[in-house]
Amino acid sequence: MDRAIIIGTFEFIGFSLCKHLLDQGCEIDGIHIIKGEEDPYLADKRLEIGRNANFSEKEYTEWMASKEEILKDTVIFIDIYDFYLKNKLSAIRENEIIENYLIHKKNELEKANSKIVFLFPLQWLKDINRAHSRCERAIEVLKEKNIAVHSFYLPAIYGPWQPKEFIFHQAILDKKTAELNNREWVHDAIFIDDLIYSILEESEKNKGGSYLLKSSLSGHWQKCAEYLSLEFSKSHSYDDLEKGKIIEKTVRDSIRYSEGLEQQRRHLQALAKRNGT
């Protein structure tokens, strides 16, 4: 992969993708979406990327209004997952991205041999045809133009840069005040590095597809919660998902969940020290 556009480049998954691709020498247009309440770690993320000549940060509204040509073989990542978890879906302006960018530029995307990669929460599958019909319609339109579309449906993701909306982040800082977000998936979890590897491996393929990603470790989320001494209900209901033709893909766990959480702990401690908190 030589060139990418990441919509939500400073979100948890978007930023992890951005860092990994920059390390591989990929040229990236990082689209920053302002959500009202600014990310407290935004300055740290910009510092971590540094002055990389391959990275160009662009504000979402200005980028949408620009007439920039889509360069050949560009892969476009759309990080809906993080906006859903933060209950900020309105910030991503789903209809604007679909109608004014993907649909409006479908011929240009086809000519440029672009790929589209959607990152969704697993909960997106609860009523995919009714609640998220615009995304589904766009995917079908793009497929009709022979544009490869990859859709990934993700459980809870943890590791460095996990945002405060996740209970693991809160528990590492102060277990007493940790509170489960009703938008967090508690039936499975994947470490961020393993997730990025799996997404990029699949996205390299020319043929698109829809994938429900799951950990190779049974009870992964619960094991993480127990490691952090969190109390949780084992009888928590499993949401009904409309999987349809979605393929279940197992993500290999490269490290133990305990080491993944300790990486997250060390990272949070380093950020706190850097910011004097």
pLDDT tens string, the chain, 277 residues long: the values are 899 999 999 999 999 999 999 999 999 999 998 877 778 889 999 998 878 899 999 999 899 888 888 999 999 999 999 998 988 888 877 778 888 888 989 999 999 999 999 999 998 887 555 455 678 888 888 989 999 999 999 999 999 999 999 999 999 998 788 888 888 999 999 999 999 999 999 998 878 899 999 999 999 999 999 999 998 765 555 556 666 678 999 999 999 999 999 999 999 999 988 877 6
Q: How far apart are CA 20 and CA 97, in angstroms?
A: 24
Q: How far apart are CA 253 and CA 255, in angstroms?
A: 6
161 φ/ψ angles, rounded to the nearest 5 degrees: 80, 5
Q: Identify the domain containing residue 170 by its residue range.
A: 3-275
pTM assigned to the model:
0.92
**Residue 93 CB contacts under 8 Å (≥ 6 apart), including other chains:** 60
The CATH number of whichever domain residue 148 belongs to comes to 3.40.50.720
Q: Which of 110, 106, 90, 88 is nearest to 98 (CA)?
A: 106
CA–CA–CA angle 191, 197, 199 (5° rounding): 100
Q: How far apart are CA 50 and CA 105, in angstroms?
A: 31
Domain count, the chain: 1
Paired tokens of 270: 């380093």
Please report, in angstroms and rounded to a whole number, the separation of the first and last CA atoms in the chain: 38
Query: What pLDDT sits at residue 243?
Result: 62
